[in-house]
Amino acid sequence: MELKLISGTFLLVLVLATVAAADSQLGNKASAKDYAFNATCMEKVQEHIQREFGAAVTYLAMGAWANHYTVQRPGLAKFFFGSASEERQHGLAMLNYLRMRGHNSLSILPAELKPINEKYEWESPMDALRQALTMEKDITRFIKQIINYCTDAEDDHLVDYFITDFMDEQLRGQRALAGHINSLRGLLNKDPAMGNWIFDNKLNA
């Protein structure tokens, strides 16, 4: 009887000790696993942050080119610098999102940033706008790939965030660029000598 009581007490102590040890392992130290995110989805977003900041640097280079005294298109420079700020905000929002989801890597930012194709000058405003549209179409395609992959991976929160906060703005930005290209084309057809000047004034209004 006494032996049974001792062995019962020992068993209870052992169970409590095991529960306490498991508790301290899981409860006291929050880890990325607590958020149950899909690691590949997070990696894809991390890769994409580089594209957003790359687009920001590309627009900065375009703005700097348009601001050069030999080019002298202040309206275009204003438009490109504004676009650079938007892309930087996108990259920053995605970075904050990764951190909110428990992304752990400290090397989250690209080691270096250069404009796309390491290009710093363009033949004309039309040339720069066309490259900007190509870049935006690529970014749209990558955002769609992330949405598709993470839909399959059932990361609903990430998918909802990307559709709501990025895809809408992305498509509107792409449409605005296409509109600028068509306006400029129309002006250049009508008045080849003054088309660029009129377009630039319109952007600077």
Minimum distance from residue 96 beta carbon to Fe ion (Å): 15
The Cα–Cα gap between 100 and 204 comes to 38
Confirm if 75 and 201 have CB atoms less than 8 A apart.
Answer: yes
CA 127 to chain centre: 25
Instruction: Considering the complex, state which of residue 52 and residue 200 has its C-beta at the smaller distance from Fe ion.
Output: 52
Phi then psi dihedrals of residue 200, to 5 deg: -65, -40
Q: How many CB atoms lie within 10 A of CB 6?
A: 10
Both tokens of residue 29?
């130290």
Quote the least distance from Cβ 52 to Fe ion, whole Å: 5
Residue closer to Fe ion by CB (options 73, 90) is 90
Of residues 86 and 185, the one with the C-beta less far from Fe ion: 86
List residues near Fe ion by CB under 5 A: 52, 87, 90
User: Least CB distance from residue 33 to Fe ion, whole Å?
Assistant: 30
CB of 173 to Fe ion, least distance (A): 7
DSSP SS3 for 203? helix
CB-nearer residue toward Fe ion: 52 or 155: 52
Give the C-alpha separation, 81 to 10, whole Å: 72
87 versus 200: smaller Cβ distance to Fe ion? 87
State CA 2 to chain mean position distance. 69
Write down the least CB distance from residue 182 to Fe ion, Å: 22
Q: Residue with the closest Cβ to Fe ion?
A: 90
